[in-house]
Amino acid sequence: MKKTYRLEELDCAHCAAKMEEAIRKLSGVTGASISFMTQKLTLEAEDEKFDEILQQAAKICRKIEPDCRIVF
């Protein structure tokens, strides 16, 4: 499954790159990209684990940039 989400309060391009790298390492993720310019996360992951992976991705974003939120 592949979905795109809007990111709020993403203020740092370097942080976006760190988030993308960490999300790609999650088990079940087949692809992830964060565009700092458009403030969007595109996540591609296994269907049966997608919701769990999305929650883990949200935690990663908050850990790297505490004000950043994924808009579901």
pLDDT tens readout for residues 6-62: 999 999 999 999 999 999 999 999 999 999 999 999 999 999 999 999 999 999 999
- Joined together, the tokens standing for residue 57 give 């991705």
Architecture field, domain 2-71: 2-Layer Sandwich (3.30)
Ordered by start, the domain boundaries in the chain are 2-71
- Joined together, the tokens standing for residue 54 give 């999305």
pLDDT recorded at residue 72: 84
Beta strands in 1-72 (DSSP E): 2-8, 29-35, 40-45, 69-71
CA nearest neighbour of 3 among 39, 34, 36, 42: 42
Can you tell me the distance from the alpha carbon of 5 to that of 3, in angstroms, rounded to the nearest whole number?
7
Binning pLDDT at 50, 70 and 90, where does residue 70 land?
A: very high
pTM of the model: 0.94
Estimate to the nearest angstrom the gap between the alpha carbon of 13 and the chain centroid.
13
